[in-house]
A and B are shown apart, each in its own frame.
Chain A
Amino acid sequence: DTAVSQTPKYLVTQMGNDKSIKCEQNLGHDTMYWYKQDSKKFLKIMFSYNNKELIINETVPNRFSPKSPDKAHLNLHINSLELGDSAVYFCASSQDIAGAREQYFGPGTRLTVT
């Protein structure tokens, strides 16, 4: 049973297109996250939702729009894709926002913008 799943695993698209990445967790967690990992493996948080409410919104271009239809899902929509958006995007979840909770990561979505 996959705890945190993401689709698609690979996404190749052209500049200017709009694409979405979906994330689902079956752990019953309240909190979900999106991270971006660049080509040098540097990992940075983008967004976090707690009980479907946005609680972390880092300095991410507003071409990126997260949506949480329910606690188990957090999707990421990206408009007008740019070359610099190429990266691996990880979804994660944690039980809640109480101190030092473990975050469970999905397998990642490798986005390549040509």
Chain B
Amino acid sequence: GNSVTQMEGPVTLSEEAFLTINCTYTATGYPSLFWYVQYPGEGLQLLLKATKADDKGSNKGFEATYRKETTSFHLEKGSVQVSDSAVYFCALSDHTGFQKLVFGTGTRLLVSP
């Protein structure tokens, strides 16, 4: 079945550091890929998405590129802020038509001043 693997956290960085959170997936066909973010005490929010190979999703300084050859969708940001501290979830949706999201285990990011 479909699955998503994310790097274990927590990831601890100082403000303005470069961020990479790795995400790889296993799926039949060509799924759509997402990054969702969960701030403390809140529900998940869509951060960015990509729907086909080589697409780059971007939002709020975060970027991720859909790499079919490596089945990856790594999240990057050039300069993190304290306010980016949250849990980040990589997810995929196949094309069965039911919008079923399969999530990775989440990666907690802690940014210190």
Closest to A88 in B: B43
Q: Is the CB of A100 within 8 A of B106?
A: no
| A-B pairs with beta carbons under 8 A, tally | 60
Please name 4 further chain A to chain B contacts, defined as beta carbons within 8 Å, in addition to the given A31-B99, A56-B98, A103-B46, sorted by A numbering.
A41-B108, A97-B97, A99-B32, A99-B51
A55: chain B residues within 8 A (beta carbon): 98
Q: Does B93 contact A (CB under 8 A)?
A: yes
Q: Which of A4, A103, A106, A108 contacts B101 (CB 8 A)?
A: A103
Q: Does A87 contact B (CB under 8 A)?
A: no
A44: chain B residues within 8 A (beta carbon): 103
Cα of A106 to Cα of B93 in the assembled complex, Å: 20
Q: Is the CB of A105 within 8 A of B106?
A: no
Which label, helix, strand, loop or mixed, suits the secondary structure of the B interface? Answer: strand
Q: Is the CB of B43 within 8 A of A106?
A: yes
Cα of A92 to Cα of B42 in the assembled complex, Å: 13
Count B interface residues, CB 8 Å: 26
B108: chain A residues within 8 A (beta carbon): 41
Given contacts A40-B105, A41-B106, is CB(A107)–CB(B43) below 8 Å? Answer: yes
Closest to B102 in A: A45
Cα of A105 to Cα of B38 in the assembled complex, Å: 10
Given contacts A99-B51, A100-B93, A102-B46, is CB(A41)–CB(B32) below 8 Å? Answer: no
A101: chain B residues within 8 A (beta carbon): 99
Cα of A90 to Cα of B45 in the assembled complex, Å: 12
